[in-house]
């Protein structure tokens, strides 16, 4: 991962290969914050990716949100680095965290997400956030090969809340926008995970997770309906 000074029109073709920071983000945010706003930070770029350890952009951003709180401020991440800012997060009255866990199988995590934290560490982060009084949801996305029932149970037990999720994106079910990267398709081909890219099989996995959640008194929703839970 390298730092880059400014985005270029063709950079979407190299998504995930560089990190770009807006150095005056907190200053700009202070000018634009309004009490009626719902802010989602961020469905496309993890605010607690490893480069944030050096950049330290989030503390100033959280201070701005604390001082001028919007209606809802949602942080979407899969990074344990979020615990660095736990004291600040406690001061942001309208914050919610959506923490991503894509599989309960470590051999799968190492294949598809080799630079991300292990499964048990992610569950521990969710528990720590919840214990600190931060409203925290688990997002099961993209759903990688897993034990759907076990993953759902563990996520709900850690967060105590409804579940949000999405299968691996394929063009047949997502005609516009970003989809699963080619590297993931190659891994699935080699490892025999073809079913997890099949819309019918994906629907069956979603149903299994929804049934497990319902048995525990919780909801599981995908796509816009699921993510809308975060700002409700």
**Per-residue pLDDT tens digits for 206-218:** 999 999 999 999 9
Confidence band for 179, pLDDT divided at 50, 70 and 90: confident
pLDDT at 199 over 60: yes
Q: Which helix (H) or strand (E) holds 204?
A: helix 199-215
Confidence band for 12, pLDDT divided at 50, 70 and 90: low
CA 145 vs CA 98, 107, 142: distances in Å: 21, 10, 10
Over residues 166-173, mean pLDDT: 78
Question: Across 5-9, 11-15, 134-138, which has the greatest mean pLDDT?
Answer: 134-138
The percent of the chain in helix, strand and coil, each rounded to the nearest 5, is 50, 15, 35
Q: What are phi and psi of 84, to 5 degrees?
A: -55, -35
Question: d(Cα 111, Cα 27) in Å, to the nearest integer?
Answer: 39
Confidence band for 8, pLDDT divided at 50, 70 and 90: low
Question: Whose CA is closest to 101, among 211, 209, 232?
Answer: 209
Q: What is the mean pLDDT of the chain?
A: 91
Residue 18, classed as helix, strand or coil, is strand
Place of tokens 């688990």: 138
Q: What is the pLDDT of residues 115-155, one digit of tens each?
A: 999 999 999 999 999 999 999 999 999 999 999 999 999 99
Q: What angle do CA 154, 155, 157 make, to 5 degrees?
A: 65
Q: What pTM does this model have?
A: 0.91
pLDDT at 16 over 60: yes
pLDDT at 177 over 80: no
Q: What is the pLDDT of residues 159-169, one digit of tens each?
A: 999 999 999 87
pLDDT above 90: percentage of residues in the chain: 79
- Cα-only R_g, the chain: 18
pLDDT at 4 over 50: no
CATH architecture of the domain with range 2-231: Alpha-Beta Horseshoe (3.80)
**Is pLDDT larger for residue 179 or for residue 155?**
155
Domain regions of the chain by residue span: 2-231
């Amino acid at each position: 991962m390298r730092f880059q000074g400014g985005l270029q029109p063709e950079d979407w073709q190299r998504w995930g290969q560089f990190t770009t920071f807006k150095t005056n983000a907190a200053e700009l945010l202070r000018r634009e914050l309004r009490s009626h706003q719902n802010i989602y930070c961020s469905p496309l770029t993890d605010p607690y990716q490893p480069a944030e350890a050096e950049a330290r952009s989030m503390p100033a951003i959280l201070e701005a949100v604390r001082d001028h709180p919007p209606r809802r401020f949602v942080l979407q991440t899969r990074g344990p680095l979020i615990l660095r800012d736990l004291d600040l997060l406690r001061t942001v009255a309208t914050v919610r965290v959506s923490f991503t866990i894509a599989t309960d199988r470590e051999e799968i995590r190492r294949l598809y997400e080799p630079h991300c934290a292990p499964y048990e560490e992610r569950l521990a982060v969710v528990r720590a956030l919840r214990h600190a009084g931060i409203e925290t949801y688990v997002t099961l996305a993209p759903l990688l090969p897993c034990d759907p029932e076990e993953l759902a149970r563990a996520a709900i037990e850690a967060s105590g809340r409804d579940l949000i999720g999405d299968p691996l994106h394929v063009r047949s079910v997502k005609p516009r926008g970003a989809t699963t990267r080619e590297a993931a398709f190659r891994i699935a081909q080699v490892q025999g995970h073809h079913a997890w890219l099949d819309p019918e099989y994906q629907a069956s996995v979603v149903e299994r997770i929804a049934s497990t959640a319902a048995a525990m008194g919780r909801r599981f929703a995908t796509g816009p309906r699921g993510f809308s839970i975060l700002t409700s």
